[in-house]
Amino acid sequence: MESEKVIFSYLKSRGYKTTEQSLKGEVKNATKLDLSQSGPLPLCEVAMDELFKSMHDANNDEVYIETFRTLLEWIETVLDTYKEDLQKIVSPIFQYLYLHMINRNMLESASVFFEEFSQYHSNKEELKELKGIEKPEDLDSEFVQNLFSHKCVILMNKYSIALLMSFIESSRLGLLLFIINQHLDLQASTDSQSSVPVLLGDDVAILHDTSNLILIPVIEKDMKIFKDLRVPFPAVDPDLQEKVNSEISQKTDLSENNLPSIICHSALNSNNSMLCLEISVEGTVIAAGFEDSSIRVWNLLRPVQVWKNSMTNEEELREYIQLIGHSEAVFCLSFSPNTQLLISGSEDCTIRLWSLISNSCLVVYRHHPFPVWSVTFGPMGHYFASGSFDTTAALWSTDNIEPLKIYSGHLSDVIVVKFHPNIHYLATGSNDKTIRIWEVASGNCVRIFISHAAAVTALIFSKSGKEIYSGDESGEVQKIDINEKNCISKIKLQGRISSLSLSQEGSLIACGSESNALTLANGDLNLVKNYPTKKIPMFAVNFTLRNLLVVGGPCLLEN
């Protein structure tokens, strides 16, 4: 199947060899959602259509209301193990039932249906659009046409799907079966006990811009009318501030005619198992996460370090410090501004806070039920954010083991998270091809951008905070005006964009690509220079405070 090829390609590009091999073995016996074979949808399309036509459901407005009410009541009775999975279908079922009622001119009943059940629709923007559809003529809108031309892809446990089909068959809900076959694409994970679903989100929905929201004026007014929502944080560390000022005083101004000095670090003998790389603000400490669940930290100012084995208490000299604690592959890392702390996200669904002074794990944060794709420290170092396969982002503080805020709205996994320079906003990039900007304190989504045609994999705000640069799976980098809500320039590169970094004055942007190349562009994304490598994908790029460009990645073995 074409979808399987896409999934295998994605896993291979990310370096998830174990997951890829496991999936290939499981696909042979996996449940197929194919209407021409036996599977979760037991009725073939022709038989289902004839059954539906022989019933009076389609023209009986009471059946629409009763069908949805019956579905809600049944979901409340199932085991908690499957309830969360089954609740994923409630919003799309609601909207398609409502639109079909409008289409059949059941206007009064549609109004009653909307008033009674609109609380079960989770997307406020879509709900506002639905409320404006009151007669058949309104169905010609772009919003409705998008809904009818794209099936809603929903990833569910295969046993949840089996439960749903059994319920539909036993309750003889032909209308519900019709809606599911026409408008939903239920995709089954192959192992109910697996903590890591192998299917990544696809084009699950068409999102719409929130044009009535103003972001930049709020920033410029410093949110004076929202003082109660200001994010509290500790005072700036005077030692850190002195260090920053010292580095900035040695900064070299860059331009298209004055390019930066570049240091490229490559990891040899990693056996293609390195999954992520992070470079500290000053460029002197590098951390890498590996498929074997370990983290390695190199201090370039101390080439040889004493490493103590926590199991045997034996000490040995090493070129790096090894941090052991995760039980699965490590996907993401982030240094605190003072480089004394490191956070990591893993396939084991946990986030860990490490001390680089004692070289030990300080805290384990548990919230996400699925793998953590991205973590990032805030500008002040006290707060950090995470993005997960569970489609949410979370805000944390280092001194609290529970998340402070959950940001829910994406329709697929959150691949990258990044703080606004003033810390009051958080940007998230998702596999649903959208970028969302959230107000950190309130948790409200204040912007949605839908200009990308592929999963968003890298983000960085401009120095002024008025623009955001984004890179995606296809190699496209965009510059988006946050206030005007549109893409103002773009550049097409080769391969997945894994990292972006701006020079200190914002005149140059470095783009790291997994197609073994580093690209420099100006602030308007006009190509300045391309630096190809033979076999080093650019996992991380970072302009230091001095405007030295430090980049790195694994040295891949020949296939």
Task: Provide mean pLDDT across the span 14-41.
Answer: 48
| Same domain? 404 vs 466 | yes
Q: For residue 257, is it within any domain?
A: no
SS3 at position 58: helix
Domain count, the chain: 3
- Please give the share of the chain, as a percent, with pLDDT higher than 90: 42
Tokens representing 35? Answer: 């209407």
In the chain the first and final C-alpha atoms are separated, in Å, by: 25
Q: Match 């606004």 to its residue by tokens.
A: 420
Confidence (pLDDT) at 135: 86
Confidence (pLDDT) at 498: 95
Last residue of a domain, one of 496, 518, 546: 496
Residue 227, burial from CB neighbour count under 10 angstroms (0-12, 13-18, 19+)? exposed
Confidence of residue 140 (pLDDT cuts 50, 70, 90): confident
Confidence (pLDDT) at 13: 53
Q: Judge whether residue 488 has pLDDT over 60.
A: yes
Give the C-alpha separation, 117 to 497, whole Å.
42
**Of 103-107, 115-119, 315-319, 546-550, which range is least confident?**
315-319
Q: Which amino acid is at 201?
A: G
Last residue of a domain, one of 448, 465, 496: 496
Confidence (pLDDT) at 10: 52
| Same domain? 221 vs 77 | no
Confidence (pLDDT) at 259: 93
Question: Model pTM?
Answer: 0.59
Summarised one tens digit per residue, pLDDT across range 320-330 is: 889 999 999 99
Q: Judge whether residue 546 has pLDDT over 70.
A: yes
Q: Are 461 and 427 in contact (CB under 8 A)?
A: yes
Give the C-alpha separation, 455 to 204, whole Å.
12
| Same domain? 334 vs 379 | yes
Q: For residue 265, is it within any domain?
A: no
Task: Provide mean pLDDT across the span 377-393.
Answer: 93
Cα–Cα nearest to 233, from 404, 366, 406, 465: 404
Q: For residue 551, is it within any domain?
A: no
| 110-114, 174-178, 345-349: which is most confident | 345-349
549-554 and 262-267 strand pairing = parallel
Q: For residue 264, is it within any domain?
A: no
Q: Are 173 and 120 in contact (CB under 8 A)?
A: no
Summarised one tens digit per residue, pLDDT across range 29-86 is: 444 434 334 344 444 444 444 444 434 455 677 888 899 999 999 988 887 777 888 8
| Same domain? 25 vs 160 | no
Q: Judge whether residue 103 has pLDDT over 90.
A: no
| Same domain? 347 vs 282 | yes
Task: Provide mean pLDDT across the span 290-304.
Answer: 88
Tokens representing 391? Answer: 């489609």
Q: Judge whether residue 23 has pLDDT over 60.
A: no
Q: For residue 528, is it within any domain?
A: no
Tokens representing 498? Answer: 């894994």
| Same domain? 55 vs 177 | yes
Distance of CA 403 to the CA centre of its chain: 17
Q: For residue 548, is it within any domain?
A: no
Range of the domain at 73: 31-189
- Please give the share of the chain, as a percent, with pLDDT higher than 70: 75
Summarised one tens digit per residue, pLDDT across range 395-416 is: 999 989 999 999 999 989 999 9
Q: Judge whether residue 4 has pLDDT over 80.
A: no
Confidence (pLDDT) at 558: 63
Q: Are 539 and 517 in contact (CB under 8 A)?
A: no
Confidence of residue 279 (pLDDT cuts 50, 70, 90): very high
Q: Match 């959950």 to its residue by tokens.
A: 406
Q: Pick 459 or 56 by higher pLDDT.
A: 459
Confidence (pLDDT) at 22: 56
| Same domain? 11 vs 114 | no
Q: For residue 436, is it within any domain?
A: yes
Q: What is 277-323 written as a DSSP string?
A: EEE-TTSSEEEEEETTS-EEEEETT-SSEEEE-TTT--EEEESSEEE
Confidence (pLDDT) at 31: 42
DSSP assignment letter at 114: H
CATH number of the structural domain spanning residue 309: 2.130.10.10
330-335 and 341-346 strand pairing = antiparallel
Q: Judge whether residue 195 has pLDDT over 50.
A: no
Q: Pick 213 or 347 by higher pLDDT.
A: 347
Beta bridge partners, 298, equal 286
Summarised one tens digit per residue, pLDDT across range 219-278 is: 444 344 334 445 555 556 666 566 666 666 677 788 888 999 999 998 887 777 899 999
Q: For residue 432, is it within any domain?
A: yes
164's CB contacts (< 8 A; 6+ apart) are: 40, 86, 89, 186
Confidence (pLDDT) at 50: 40
| 81-90, 119-128, 212-221, 442-451: which is most confident | 442-451
| Same domain? 177 vs 230 | no
| Same domain? 418 vs 459 | yes
| Same domain? 148 vs 240 | no
Confidence of residue 344 (pLDDT cuts 50, 70, 90): very high
Q: Pick 118 or 245 by higher pLDDT.
A: 118
Confidence (pLDDT) at 39: 41
- Average pLDDT of the chain? 80
Confidence (pLDDT) at 406: 94
Q: Judge whether residue 305 has pLDDT over 80.
A: no
| Same domain? 400 vs 474 | yes
Summarised one tens digit per residue, pLDDT across range 147-179 is: 888 788 888 888 788 888 888 878 888 888 888
CATH number of the structural domain spanning residue 145: 1.25.40.500
| Same domain? 24 vs 62 | no
